[in-house]
A and B are shown apart, each in its own frame.
Chain A
């Protein structure tokens, strides 16, 4: 793995912010998109930063995912390219969503530099909001454990039980091919025994930036790569295990009905989903408005009807629309007021449907969305 080393001063976050400041100074990019602490200090928000002094409140790795970064970026770059160059600092799952959105023409990637960071996971939004201060400390401990790593398995607390369930089983928490995440530049913070983090270019754009900033690109030690691969392996096993545990709750109609029975139809999950980009969801549109006779007929034929009906139609319908692009970021689960395991269920289904096409969302801008392409000679098993 080739890249450049960056000496950690104060903290990993500060080092990354310093790097960004340098980029702004050298005019390698004009604007940075990064989470800033909100004025009340009780959360984080995405801010396009041009004025360097604002970076004092920046945190490239906040303890929570408030708005999924791809959704934020899409609000800016949906209608076309920016004339200024933007450096975007995000978690790998956010970058993967960015790639997916750009395939659906929801983000114009020209002039955008995608920077991913090894992700320790995020805390559940609910827990964080209840006690931001304590949560930040807890998260810091998790994050810092990467530096205290002495090689035994318990040293690294990344994705421990206080992070979101979906983060605990995430096997794509990193950049480059290992994380199936096509950022331009990846910042490796795992396995930094020598007090250095590594900047790993992952595209021509990434290489150019390092050149422009006159960082030498050299061969890196295998520390990062080994550590990451080790953790990926652990996570893959955990993921399989979780999915096994999940099966009894979601396989079969009765189980599905039971699992989604508490759904109150607020559609928060869909509204925060980065890859659900429709301006108006089908399930909120005129098409779903029925006459009273329709409803009553349905009620009569069964003796009763849960109201509003069609919770399963909504969730499974949403799966058919977006599961091939589901990057398992967990935003849906964070936003669910009824604490339904939406993200775990959706990423379970996503894994299965993506497997069919051997497709990994966010891995490469070159991989076409599976439903946009076809071969004449394929999938004969599903036809009769």
Chain B
């Protein structure tokens, strides 16, 4: 069963860059694994760390936060804040012995369809190696 484990990755994608990048990957017919479940947010800085936690604790195998490259934020500097918050959350994961490889921050612009496909493919592979998230079966959370 573990062999054909298909991970589910929840992706919080910013409206202006990464979501458009995902669109581009699609319209360009670039193949990538169907593991990503995209959730569109107006800016990566809209993502409260609790969103990532919710996805993680409700059984997502991995969580991706993705937005415009630093300097390119539609709202000037939203993604710089995202990066700080993400660093915090990652540290919390590490300090509590949780698998912080299951959460990831990537910058993918609207023109980077191929990069979107690459990130998803890569992330799906690394997540596969981690195996299913054990929160899936845990009833006492």
* A contacts B directly (C-beta below 8 A): yes
For the residues of B in contact with A, the DSSP-based class is loop
The residues of A that contact B139 with a CB separation of less than 8 Å are 47, 54
Closest B residue to A49 by CB, please name it.
Answer: B139
Chain A residues with Cβ below 8 Å from B140 are 38-39, 45, 47
Q: Is the interface on chain B under 10, 10 to 19, 20 to 34, or 35 or more residues?
A: under 10
Contact with B along A16-46 (1 / 0, CB 8 A): 0000000000000000000000110000010
- Least distance between B134 CB and chain A CB atoms (Å): 13
Q: How far is the CA of A45 from the CA of B140 in the complex (A)?
A: 8
Mark out the residues of chain A between 42 and 59 whose CB falls within 8 Å of any chain B CB in the assembled complex: 45, 47, 54
Q: How many residues of A contact B (CB 8 A)?
A: 5
Name the residue on A nearest B139 (C-beta): A47
Tell me the smallest distance from the CB of A378 to a CB of chain B, in Å.
Answer: 50
Give 1 or 0 for each of B66-89: 1 = CB within 8 Å of chain A CB.
Answer: 000000000000000000000000
A39 (CB) vs chain B CBs: closest residue: B140
What is the 8 Å Cβ interface bit string for chain A, positions 174-211, against chain B (1 contact, 0 not)?
A: 00000000000000000000000000000000000000
The answer for the CA separation of A54 and B137 in the assembled complex, in Å, is 12
Which chain B positions have C-beta within 8 A of A39?
A: 140
Smallest Cβ distance from A33 to chain B, in angstroms? 13
Task: Tell me, in angstroms, the Cα distance from A47 to B138 when the chains sit together.
Answer: 12
Which residue in chain B gives the minimum CB-CB distance to A54? Answer: B139
Chain A residue at minimum C-beta to C-beta distance from B138: A39
Annotate B123-141 by CB proximity to A: 1 below 8 A, 0 otherwise.
0000000000000000110
- Residues of the B chain whose Cβ atoms lie less than 8 Å from the Cβ of A38: 140
Cβ-closest chain B residue relative to A47: B139
Residues of B within 8 A of A45 (CB): 140
Interface flags for A43-78 (1: CB within 8 Å of B; 0: not) read 001010000001000000000000000000000000
Q: Please give the distance in Å from B20's CB to the nearest CB on chain A.
A: 36
Instruction: Please provide the chain B residues from 39 to 59 with a CB less than 8 Å away from any CB of chain A in the complex.
Output: none
Whole-angstrom distance between the Cβ of B53 and the nearest chain A Cβ: 19
Chain A, 301-357, CB within 8 A of any chain B CB:
none
Question: Which residues, 103 to 141 on B, are CB-close (under 8 Å) to A?
Answer: 139-140
Shortest Cβ distance from residue B141 to the other chain A in the assembled complex, whole angstroms: 11
Query: Which chain B residue lies CB-closest to A51?
Result: B139
Smallest CB-CB separation from A38: which chain B residue?
Answer: B140
B88 to chain A, nearest CB (A): 27
Distance (whole angstroms) from the CB of A32 to the closest CB of chain B = 13
- Min CB–CB distance A286 → chain B (angstroms): 22
Min CB–CB distance B23 → chain A (angstroms) = 35
* Cα A38 to Cα B140 with chains together (Å): 7
Q: Which residues of B contact A54 (CB under 8 A)?
A: 139
Nearest Cβ distance between residue A49 and chain B, in whole angstroms? 9
**Measured between alpha carbons, how far is A136 from B139 in the docked complex, in Å?**
24
Q: How far is the CA of A276 from the CA of B139 in the complex (A)?
A: 27
Cα(A54)–Cα(B140), bound, Å:
12
Q: A residues 136-159 with Cβ under 8 Å of B? A: none
Within 8 A of A (CB), among B15-34: none
| CA distance in complex: A54, B139 (Å) | 10
Bound: A75/B31 CA distance, A: 43
CA gap between A112 and B139 in the complex, in Å = 21
CB distance from B137 to the nearest CB of A (A): 11
Q: How far is the CB of B97 from chain A (nearest CB, A)?
A: 16
Please measure, in the bound complex, the distance between the C-alpha atom of A78 and the C-alpha atom of B139, giving whole angstroms: 21
Chain B residue with Cβ nearest A40: B140
- Which residues on B sit within 8 Å (CB–CB) of A47? 139-140
Report Cα–Cα, A151/B103, bound state, in Å.
Answer: 64
Least CB distance, A39 to chain B, in whole angstroms: 6
CA distance A296 to B90 in the complex (A): 44
Q: Output the least CB separation between B105 and chain A (Å).
A: 32
Q: Can you give 6 A-B contacts (C-beta < 8 A)? A: A38-B140, A39-B140, A45-B140, A47-B139, A47-B140, A54-B139
Q: A-contacting residues of B (Cβ < 8 Å)?
A: 139-140
Q: Which 6 A-B pairs have the closest CB atoms?
A: A39-B140, A38-B140, A47-B139, A45-B140, A54-B139, A47-B140
